Amino acid sequence: MQKDQILEILNAALSSGGDYSELFFEDTNSRNYLLENSNVSTALTSNVYGCGIRILKKDKCVYGYTNDISFNNLLKMANSLKDSFEGERILKVTKLENVKSANRNKPIIPYDKMPLDKQISLLKEASEVALNYDERIKKVDINYSFKTQLVTIYNSDGKIVKDSRTRGRVYINAIAVKPNAMQVGGKGPGAQRGFEFFNELIDLKEYAKEAARIAITMLDADDCPSGEMPVIIDNGFGSVIFHEACGHGLEASSVSKNLSIFSNKKGQKIASNIVNAFDDGTIAGGWGSGNFDDEGNPTQRTQLIKDGVLINYLVDNFNGRAMNEKGNGACRRESYKYAPTSRMSNTFIGNGTSTKEEIIANTKFGLYAKSLGGGSVNPTTGDFNFAVQEGYLIENGKITKPVKGATLIGNGANILFNIDMVGNNLLREQGMCGAASGSIPADVGQPTIRVKSILVGGTGGKIKNEL
Amino acid sequence: MNFNKYFSYAKEKGFSDIEFKTITHNNLAIQIFHKNVENYQISENEVIYIRGIFNGNLVSGQTENKNNITDIIDIMALNAKLIDEKKEQEIFKGSDKYKNFKTYNDSFNQKSSNEKINMCLELENKAYDYDSRIVDVEEVSYEEVTSAMKIVNSKGLKLSYKVNYAMLVLSVVAKSESDVRTSFSYQVKDNPNDFDLDYLVKKACDDAINSLDGQQINSKKYKVILSPNVFASFVSFLLESASGEKINKDKSLLKDKLDKEIASKKLTIIENPLNKNYPYYYRAFDDEGVATYKKTIIDKGILKTYLYNIEEAKVAKVNSTGNGYGGSKIGITTSFVEIKPSKKSLDDLCLMVKDGVLINNVHGLHAGMNPLSGDFSLQASGYIIENGKIAKPVNLITIAGNLFEMFKDIKEVGNDIFVTYGGISTPSVFIKKLAISSK
- Chain A residues with CB-CB distance to B437 below 8 A: 226-227, 455-458, 462
B1-10 tens-digit pLDDT: 789 999 999 9
- Which of B82, B373, B377 minimises the CB distance to A457? B377
B348-360 tens-digit pLDDT: 999 999 999 999 9
A275-298 tens-digit pLDDT: 999 999 999 999 999 999 999 999
- Is pLDDT of B90 > 70? yes
Q: Say if A466 is an interface residue toward chain B (CB within 8 Å).
A: no
- A273 and A139 belong to one structural domain: no
Is A462 in Cβ contact with B76 (below 8 Å)? Answer: no
- A260 and A115 belong to one structural domain: no
Q: Say if A434 is an interface residue toward chain B (CB within 8 Å).
A: no
State whether the Cα torsion B12-B18-B19-B20 is positive or negative. negative
- B188 and B70 belong to one structural domain: yes
pLDDT score recorded for residue A68: 96
pLDDT score recorded for residue A463: 64
Q: Say if A61 is an interface residue toward chain B (CB within 8 Å).
A: yes
Would residue A15 count as lying in a domain?
Answer: yes
Residues A323, A328, A332: CA angle, nearest 5 degrees: 100
CB A215, CB A174: distance < 8 Å: yes
- Is pLDDT of B84 > 80? yes
- Of B295, B365, B368, B376, which is closest to residue B334 (Cα–Cα)? B295
- A278 and A230 belong to one structural domain: yes
Residue B328: CB partners within 8 Å, gap ≥ 6? A44, A46, B49, B50, B51, B60, B61, B62
Would residue A467 count as lying in a domain?
Answer: no
CATH number of the domain to which A53 belongs: 3.30.2290.10
A384-429 tens-digit pLDDT: 888 898 999 999 999 999 999 898 988 888 899 999 999 999 999 9
Q: Which residue of A has its CA nearest to B181?
A: A381
Q: Say if A139 is an interface residue toward chain B (CB within 8 Å).
A: yes
- B329 and B399 belong to one structural domain: no
- Chain A residues with CB-CB distance to B75 below 8 A: 31, 45
Q: Say if A405 is an interface residue toward chain B (CB within 8 Å).
A: yes
- Over range B2-23, report the average pLDDT: 95
Look at residues A196, A220, A244 and tell me which one is the last residue of a structural domain: A220
Is B45 in Cβ contact with A383 (below 8 Å)? Answer: no
> What is the Cβ-side half-sphere exposure of residue B207, based on CA atoms within 13 angstroms?
23
- A285 and A160 belong to one structural domain: no
pLDDT score recorded for residue A465: 44
- A298 and A181 belong to one structural domain: no
- B12 and B125 belong to one structural domain: yes
DSSP codes joined into one string, B154-177: TT--EEEEEEEEEEEEEEEEEE-S
B85 vs B53: CA distance, rounded Å: 13
* Total domains, chain A: 2
- Is pLDDT of A378 > 90? no
- Over range A201-216, report the average pLDDT: 97
Q: Say if A42 is an interface residue toward chain B (CB within 8 Å).
A: yes
- B87 and B203 belong to one structural domain: yes
- Is pLDDT of B135 > 50? yes
CATH number of the domain to which B99 belongs: 3.30.2290.10
- Over range B66-92, report the average pLDDT: 94
Integer-rounded Cα Rg, in Å, for chain B is 24
CB B124, CB B137: distance < 8 Å: yes
pLDDT score recorded for residue A171: 97
- A257 and A164 belong to one structural domain: no
- Over range B255-280, report the average pLDDT: 96
- Is pLDDT of A467 > 60? no
- A255 and A134 belong to one structural domain: no
Residues 174-193 of A with CB under 8 A from B: 175, 177, 180-184
CB A275, CB A446: distance < 8 Å: no
pLDDT band for B284, please (50, 70, 90 cuts): very high
- Over range B94-106, report the average pLDDT: 92
CB B353, CB B385: distance < 8 Å: yes
Is B377 in Cβ contact with A406 (below 8 Å)? Answer: yes
Look at residues B285, B319, B339 and tell me which one is the last residue of a structural domain: B339
Coil, helix or strand at residue A27: strand
pLDDT score recorded for residue A234: 97
3-state secondary structure A362-378: CCCEEEEEEEEEEEEEC
Is A457 in Cβ contact with B253 (below 8 Å)? Answer: no
Coil, helix or strand at residue B218: coil
- Chain B residues with CB-CB distance to A59 below 8 A: 36, 38
Q: Which residue of B has its CA nearest to A57?
A: B38
pLDDT band for A244, please (50, 70, 90 cuts): confident
Q: Which residue of A has its CA nearest to B72?
A: A45
- B90 and B192 belong to one structural domain: yes
Provide the residue range defining the domain that includes A119: 3-220
Is B367 in Cβ contact with A45 (below 8 Å)? Answer: no
- Of B212, B36, B27, which is closest to residue B139 (Cα–Cα)? B36
Outline where DSSP puts E strands in A83-226. 97-99, 137-155, 159-178, 181-187, 190-191, 222-223
- Is pLDDT of A466 > 80? no
Would residue A465 count as lying in a domain?
Answer: no
pLDDT score recorded for residue B439: 64
- Is pLDDT of A460 > 90? no
| Beta partners for residue B183, in sequence order | B172
B174 vs B324: CA distance, rounded Å: 43
CB B169, CB B184: distance < 8 Å: yes
- Which of B38, B45, B82 minimises the CB distance to A66? B45
- Is pLDDT of B106 > 50? yes
Is A180 in Cβ contact with B437 (below 8 Å)? Answer: no
B150 exposure class (CB count in 10 Å sphere: 0-12, 13-18, 19+): middle
- Over range A256-274, report the average pLDDT: 94
Look at residues A172, A202, A220 and tell me which one is the last residue of a structural domain: A220
How many cross-chain Cβ pairs, A to B, lie less than 8 Å apart? 227
- Is pLDDT of B211 > 50? yes
- Of B230, B227, B302, B238, which is closest to residue B264 (Cα–Cα)? B302
- B282 and B413 belong to one structural domain: no
- A347 and A378 belong to one structural domain: yes
Distance of CA A59 to the CA centre of its chain: 27
* Total domains, chain B: 3
- A188 and A260 belong to one structural domain: no
User: Exposure pattern of B8-25 as b/e (b: 16+ CB <10 Å)?
Assistant: ebbeebebebbbbbbbbe
Amino acid present at B257: K
What ipTM, to 2 d.p.?
0.90
- A174 and A262 belong to one structural domain: no
- B122 and B261 belong to one structural domain: no
State whether the Cα torsion B119-B120-B122-B126 is positive or negative. positive
Amino acid present at A36: E
pLDDT score recorded for residue B406: 97
Look at residues B317, B339, B361 and tell me which one is the last residue of a structural domain: B339
3-state secondary structure A236-255: CHHHHHHHHHHHHHHEHHHH
- B353 and B366 belong to one structural domain: yes
Q: Say if A381 is an interface residue toward chain B (CB within 8 Å).
A: yes
- A227 and A134 belong to one structural domain: no
Is B401 in Cβ contact with A459 (below 8 Å)? Answer: yes
A387 vs A376: CA distance, rounded Å: 10
Percent above pLDDT 90 for chain A: 85
Look at residues B306, B339, B372 and tell me which one is the last residue of a structural domain: B339
Average pLDDT over chain B reads 94
Is A60 in Cβ contact with B64 (below 8 Å)? Answer: no
Look at residues A169, A202, A220 and tell me which one is the last residue of a structural domain: A220
pLDDT band for A17, please (50, 70, 90 cuts): very high
pLDDT band for B260, please (50, 70, 90 cuts): very high
- B358 and B324 belong to one structural domain: no
Pairing of strands A181-187, A190-191: unpaired
Residues 215-274 of A with CB under 8 A from B: 224, 226-228, 257-259
Is A181 in Cβ contact with B377 (below 8 Å)? Answer: no
Is A50 in Cβ contact with B38 (below 8 Å)? Answer: no
- B92 and B106 belong to one structural domain: yes
- Over range B409-438, report the average pLDDT: 95
Provide the residue range defining the domain that includes B254: 235-339
- Chain A residues with CB-CB distance to B220 below 8 A: 462
Coil, helix or strand at residue B302: strand
- Chain A residues with CB-CB distance to B38 below 8 A: 59-61
Outline where DSSP puts E strands in A354-437. 365-377, 383-395, 398-404, 407-411, 419-422, 427-435
pLDDT score recorded for residue A23: 98
- A261 and A199 belong to one structural domain: no
Is B75 in Cβ contact with A226 (below 8 Å)? Answer: no
Q: Which residue of B has its CA nearest to A124?
A: B84
Would residue A466 count as lying in a domain?
Answer: no
B198 vs B391: CA distance, rounded Å: 24
- Is pLDDT of A182 > 90? no
Would residue A464 count as lying in a domain?
Answer: no
Query: Distance, in angstroms, between A94 CA and closest chain B CA?
Result: 26
The better pLDDT of the pair B417, B100 is held by: B417
- Is pLDDT of B40 > 60? yes
CA distances from A137 to A387, B233, B240, B256 (A): 22, 29, 22, 21
